[in-house]
Structure 1
Amino acid sequence: MDRLTNIFKQSTFKKGIVVPSLIFILSITFLSSFFPGQTAYYLGIVQEWIFINLNWVYVWSVTIFVIFLLFLLFSKFGSIRLGEYDADPEYSFFSWISMLFAAGMGIGLMYFGVAEPMAHFSDPTFAGIEETQRARNAQLFTFFHWGIHAWAIYGVVGLSLAYFAYRFRLPLSLRSCFYPILKNKINGPAGDVIDTFALCSTFFGITTTLGFGVVQLTAGLVELGLIAGTGFGYQVGIVAVVMTVAILSATSGVNKGVKLLSQINIVSAILLMAFILIFGPTIYLLGTFSEGIGYYITSFFTLTFNTHAYDPASQPWYFSWTILYWAWWISWSPFVGLFIAKISRGRTIREFIGAVLVIPTIFNFIWMTIFGNSAIWVDRNIGNKVLSSIANNTDELLFRFLDYFPVSGVTSSLAIFIIVVFFITSADSGIYVMNSIATNNAAKSPKWQLIFWGVLLSILALVLLNAGGLQALQTLTLITALPFSIIMCLFCYSLIKGLVLDHNYYARGYSPAANNWSGEFWKERLQHILSYKNRPAVEKFLQQWVRPALEDLAEEFNNKGITAVVQINEKPMEVQLTIKHDVIEDFTYGVRCQSKLISDFLVNEENIPGVDINKTYIPKTYFGDNRMGYNIEYFNKNEIIADALKQYERFVELSSEVKNEMFIDNTLKDTP
């Protein structure tokens, strides 16, 4: 008993995250298992209402994510590194891409590589369209669903997590993405709610994928004659084997198990794809890939914004495919985003976005072209429409397709191997991510916690599979995607706010006063730096230093026949030097007393004396052309004169250039 107590004492679980998550997960599992029909029915009503009435939320959210990432890709923020400036990537490029791909969509490609293009090609919605055009559209729709839009969803979450975790040294959890909005409140109940949502979403997504994937694996093993049927007992055995390996992989760490399995699987998938390309209609596939890319590019914006509002007959198909996909990718994004962020430390933002958006998208396009277009070609030319007739039976469609190729037993075995390994990589990375969320990214957790998540996933997936509750759970997952799409928009806002602050912080130079420092009177300068002034102190500085300096300068200008005046204004106090002109604009150099907010962190810092409130005052310059002014609180009288003369010299130099006449023409001021 004491040993068990010690084990739990060593746990890194955060009660505020784990307890409500488990309560919610077990409650939903109970409803979906004991009342699967009723639960699926009512959740289906909610999903249908959302898809019909709020589908535009998904459309605009995904569009925003694509535009946002493309903006960052080509912006000045692209060079910012996810980590310290000299940080190196933790993984080689191949390992990074392999893990990113395996966690993101690996098993989906095996499940839908043949099934989705065939489903679009044979869908009754498009029965009136000529067959060749239906084949082109099937490829186009598949590209759209598996292309840049899908990876932009993952990219927004992954980039937000990686940026705030590695740049601001915050925990690698969704709560950290709200830091610019919530500040330290992310460490309280608000942060726990965010991470609870992420944990439940991740758990449900992996559970449904595990459950439905077992059905496909069972169908494949039956096709090969390795098992006699698709009964529940066989499914229990498959889950036990897959999850045992997944748990072993997860407990060995990302650097070992996950990375190795991902590399093995990407190589295996490429071999299978190359086999289909070589022994399939090679010339046809190469040609359709080229055409498909062009068709996708030319149709990109039409597809992006199309809600089928003018074509109600096609809307059921649109809700069942495009909107369902957007909801599914969004619901998976906490899991995939967390894993992508975990393996992306040291990459630049430009490198991250370029790799996440482009490389998996191109691979998906190649895969879907080779498998999907091969299936359509077989169905049209030698298959007598057999594949079309079973297009809705996605569990066995891949294996029936492979029967049309040489050594179908070998290729089916390789396909099963790939599916199994994709299962394992999705499950082990999912276990790793769930434990990371549940512990608020604790540095090191006991291995029994990883085992706990693996066992819980296995048990609940089997319970739901046996009770027929997976459909209800999948529907709930899709429903939760709606509020999370809004949360992701807030991620974009937080990220751009953080990036602007980041760029300004590191790009900011020295104070203008520092340009004149020679080291003389350094003790007095230090005292100035450590002093935070009230309004009377700054007004005194304006009277004792700024006013005499500008009056001496005005007197010298007047002695040389140039009209110059000094004005004193109150509330706020200002001292202004104006040099009068007739044809060109007057030159103005002024200094005003201006308030400035101080960070609460600096106010609470005990090692900086004299900061009691979060407001101070500074003498700040202003100019006649409305340029940004600067703080001159460290200047002495001669330095104020020198600064005003530097600004006047700049003014004269700019006024002498013909191209600047529009800015300096004083004769236009009074023109109505």
Structure 2
Amino acid sequence: MKTTFNLKVFIPSFIFMVIIGILGMIVPKKMKATLDIAQAFTFNHFSWFYILAVSLFLAFLIALVCSRLGDIRLGADDEDPEYPFFSWLAMLFAAGMGVGLMYFGVAEPLMHYASPITEDNIDKNAMLYTFFHWGIHPWAIYGIMALALAFFGYRYRLPLSLRSTFYPLFKEKINGTVGNVIDGFGLLATVFGIVTTLGFSAIQLNSGLHSLGIVDEVGFYPQMLIIIVVTSVAILSAISGVGKGVRRLSELNLLLALSLLLFILFYGPTVKLLGSFVENVGYYLSHVTEMSFKTFSYDTEHQAWFTGWTVLYWTWWASWAPFVGLFIARISRGRTIREFVIGVLIAPTVFSLLWFTIFGNSGLWVNEVNNGALSAFTSTPEILLFKFLGHFPFYQVSSIVALIILSMFFITSADSGIIVLNNIASGGSSRPSPRWQSILWGILLITMAIALLRTDGLGAVQAVTLIVALPFMVIMVGMCVSLIRGLRSDARYFDKKLNAASVFWSGDRWKQHLNQILHQTQASDMDNFFKKTVRPAFESLRQELVNKHQLQVIINEFTEPEMAMELVIEKGQWRNFLYGVKVQSSKVHDALADEDALPKLDKTEVHEPFTYFGDGRIGYDVQYMNKEELIADILKQYQRYLNLMHTEELALMMQAPIDGEISN
């Protein structure tokens, strides 16, 4: 059967998922007990790691923005962005948060409001914790993944796959077992992240349909039916080639979501909401650093809240990282890293914070003016959005719009998820996947969602996500190490300038120059270079400067710690002009010595003559210069020195130190 799957990735992952699905169906109670034990172990031993890792991701991205590595472009140096800036920002809004915004927009602030975690400034702290969970940190996780995929895909021209992001660490080994393990954990994390989203969507759709009287009950069987119907639509979308139509529907869905947002803003306490947004953002910014590293080690009373909210969120975002990261990477070609990071971190975060202010603060306001009418439903958060809409005019219309938005987010999440799963399981292959693969993934998602809902509702789904996300979070930390190595290598590569001697080259001596650049220079070559080039050049120039121009010139020679020679023109109260040449040795990379397609290297070191100057500037290699060319290079440096001496504002740099010239 025709397939694009890498079977060494697909088969082990598929077997694991099938086992989880079967156990959830056949022995749900034992499955629940096992998941509870595994979840408790993960909470007790690794909560600190999740918090530290996500905070490091954010710090890493901010450091890139502030460094010169932020100038690197995700593509060729002269490549323009594929999408206009504002179109790119608009697409970022739609990534990664759709179902969650609908499910938690009203529910989460009210749930924190009713929790002991917000004992003081209840409303304000309820919004603070919501902002923390939906603010910049999720986008830091997505940003790391997207940046690594885009950088190695567009800069190194590797496939857009998880294994490609580890190329600097493992080189060609990414095509073997190491790459298979990375892709395998990424596949599992993505499956359970999508299944979590399907679970939230099905439960909330069931509640919305029930509140409108369309279905009779809220429970497992209607939720199972919703998952089957909606995911089947997603499968048909994935295999029918109507992706453009789905994108148009997604854009329409985003407009509907914005319309619902504006409806709540204008029919709710508008001035209060706008003021709350400003204060919420300020309060969030003033507390975000402390909260980023808070593990409740000194507040054990609230550790259950911490693990049940923050840690679970961080694992959910990590499980969605390949999904959202691949989408962001595909739309970000041509942007600089600085522009990419600022856009990914800031634009979607602002939108999320605005959404939660309008829905969350409105929910708190409705609850307050109606004597706790919404607090009574915090144990069933899936119904809160529809109970909330019931306190606004046009309830039937707004509820139907909310159901349409949820359904479309559901379909597009499943549709896009199937595409991403095909990509990961195929190692980033550019070949089109056969239809049966998309059908298989759809059936698997349906089975996993139903099995885990049967086991323990969303609790089981979240537990498996938490457990699978742990090794994947470790992989993401390694991805940061690989990314920084790749970025530094890129910067050094493109900063490397032509050899200074090449400016003197012409076609007259091209064969001699070719022999020189293919020769592995050793210590004996340096003895010969100093004897035939450096010393004669220095002596000839010294004679001319002393005999004809009456300058004081000395030549210094050294053999320790390395061979070196200096030409010094003394200038009295001014800093002396110094032009030196010294031998530098460097190791030959092992890969070069073993590469048959490159000039054969039989030594582990090469020795090269580099210049140095009295003002401490970085020198350059002069091994390809002859005597006359070296004299010309000295004169260029001396002409620069004289120009600087005649510039009044540079006098401080040109004056000699009080204790005389500093020796090299």
With the length of structure 2 as denominator, give the TM-score of the two structures: 0.90
Does 1:115 find its partner at 2:107?
yes
Q: 1:48 to 1:514 in 2, by over 3 A?
A: same
Q: Which of 590, 611, 614 is the aligned partner of 2:580?
A: 590
Q: Any conservation in 1 of the 2:192–2:319 contact (CA below 8 Å)?
A: no
Q: 1:433 to 1:253 in 2, by over 3 A?
A: farther
Does 1:511 find its partner at 2:480?
no
1:61 aligned partner: 53
Does 1:421 find its partner at 2:413?
no
1:70 aligned partner: 62
What does 1:92-131 correspond to in 2, within 5 Å? 96-97=88-89, 99-126=91-118, 128-129=119-120
What does 1:333-348 correspond to in 2, within 5 Å? 333-348=321-336
Q: Percent identity?
A: 48
2:299 aligned partner: 311
Q: How many residues align?
A: 657
Q: Which of 240, 244, 260 is the aligned partner of 1:256?
A: 244
What does 1:74-89 correspond to in 2, within 5 Å? 74-89=66-81
Q: Which has the larger displacement, 275-284 or 251-260?
A: 251-260
Q: Which of 548, 551, 554 is the aligned partner of 1:564?
A: 554
Measure, in 2, the Cα distance between the counterparts of 1:24 and 1:616.
52
Cα shift at 1:488: 2.3
2:183 aligned partner: 195
With the length of structure 1 as denominator, give the TM-score of the two structures: 0.89
Q: 1:185 to 1:284 in 2, by over 3 A?
A: same
Q: Which of 617, 622, 635 is the aligned partner of 2:607?
A: 617
Measure, in 1, the Cα distance between the counterparts of 2:229 and 2:90.
23
Amino acid at match of 1:594: Q
Q: 1:660 to 1:550 in 2, by over 3 A?
A: same
Does 1:659 find its partner at 2:652?
yes
Q: 1:493 to 1:666 in 2, by over 3 A?
A: farther
Does 1:628 find its partner at 2:618?
yes
Q: 1:83 to 1:257 in 2, by over 3 A?
A: farther
Name stretches of at least 5 consecutive residues in structure 2 with no aligned partner: none
Does 1:487 find its partner at 2:464?
no
1:27 aligned partner: 19
Does 1:14 find its partner at 2:6?
yes
Partner secondary structure for residue 378 of structure 2: coil
Measure, in 2, the Cα distance between the counterparts of 1:96 and 1:434.
24
1:5 aligned partner: none
Q: Any conservation in 1 of the 2:573–2:655 contact (CA below 8 Å)?
A: no
Q: Deviations over 1:455-486 (max 9, x none)?
A: 21112222332343753342132134344333
Q: Deviations over 1:312-355 (max 9, x none)?
A: 33333223222322232123212221222233223332332222
Does 1:387 find its partner at 2:374?
yes
Q: Which has the larger displacement, 193-202 or 29-38?
A: 29-38
What value does the CA root-mean-square deviation take over the aligned residues? 2.9
Q: Which has the larger displacement, 507-516 or 304-313?
A: 304-313
Amino acid at match of 2:174: I
Q: Which of 429, 436, 443 is the aligned partner of 2:430?
A: 443
What does 1:283-298 correspond to in 2, within 5 Å? 283-298=271-286
Cα shift at 1:287: 1.8
Q: Any conservation in 1 of the 2:185–2:471 contact (CA below 8 Å)?
A: no
Q: Any conservation in 2 of the 1:36–1:469 contact (CA below 8 Å)?
A: no
Cα shift at 1:580: 6.5
Amino acid at match of 2:333: R
Q: Any conservation in 2 of the 1:157–1:488 contact (CA below 8 Å)?
A: yes
Measure, in 2, the Cα distance between the counterparts of 1:521 and 1:316.
77
Cα shift at 1:250: 2.5
Q: Which of 290, 294, 299 is the aligned partner of 1:302?
A: 290
Q: 1:49 to 1:609 in 2, by over 3 A?
A: closer
Amino acid at match of 1:407: F
Partner secondary structure for residue 68 of structure 1: helix
Cα shift at 1:229: 1.9
Amino acid at match of 1:644: I
Does 1:502 find its partner at 2:490?
yes
Cα shift at 1:266: 0.8
Cα shift at 1:616: 3.6
Q: 1:662 to 1:451 in 2, by over 3 A?
A: farther
Partner secondary structure for residue 187 of structure 2: helix
Does 1:400 find its partner at 2:387?
yes
Name stretches of at least 5 consecutive residues in structure 1 with no aligned partner: 1-7
Q: Deviations over 1:216-241 (max 9, x none)?
A: 21111111111122354433331222
Q: Which has the larger displacement, 140-149 or 252-261?
A: 252-261
Q: 1:565 to 1:19 in 2, by over 3 A?
A: same
Q: 1:554 to 1:266 in 2, by over 3 A?
A: same
Measure, in 2, the Cα distance between the counterparts of 1:419 and 1:184.
43
Measure, in 2, the Cα distance between the counterparts of 1:322 and 1:663.
61
